[in-house]
Amino acid sequence: MRAYNNPAMRKPPKGGGSRDRRSRERSERGPGRRMPPPESTFREAAYIKQLKDHATPIVVHLRDGSEVRGHIEYFDRDMIKVTRPQGPHFFVRKQDIRYLVEDE
């Protein structure tokens, strides 16, 4: 009898027929395709916290071409407070930062 070759007649696999999430995702996206990298690795917050905890001098390069020197006193999801040795402190929105480097 050829009932087992017919997909409608096959018995479900042991364990209730549920597959693990990875194999289900793999079958949905097709053979040989990889998942895209995650949008965020969540390492940004850990790096900024390390700079803050050690009071590391930094240079923040902004999108408009200006630079802010100091160290990070506070940060949250959207902004960073840069404390400067002289002059006013700056609250900088993360969307306005081009890049941030440790000052030598």
pTM exceeding 0.75: no
In a domain, 59, yes or no: yes
* Cα→Cα distances 70→36, 91, 94, Å: 37, 12, 16
In a domain, 67, yes or no: yes
In a domain, 68, yes or no: yes
Residue 60: CATH number of its domain: 2.30.30.100
In a domain, 7, yes or no: no
Position 11 confidence tier, pLDDT thresholds 50, 70, 90: low
Total domains in the chain come to 1
> With 60 as the cut, is the pLDDT of residue 17 above it?
no
String of b and e for 54-81 (b: at least 16 CB within 10 Å)?
A: eeeebebebeeeeebebbbeebeeebbb
In a domain, 88, yes or no: yes
* pLDDT > 90 fraction of the chain, expressed in percent and rounded: 51
In a domain, 47, yes or no: yes
In a domain, 70, yes or no: yes
pLDDT at 86: 87
pLDDT at 33: 80
Position 5 confidence tier, pLDDT thresholds 50, 70, 90: low
In a domain, 23, yes or no: no
What's the mean pLDDT when you consider all of the chain? Answer: 82
pLDDT at 49: 95
pLDDT at 29: 57
> What's the rounded Cα separation, in Å, for the pair 20 and 30?
16
Q: What is the pLDDT of residues 91-102, one digit of tens each?
A: 999 999 999 999
- Domain limits at 60? 43-102
Q: Tell me, what DSSP letter sits at residue 42?
A: S
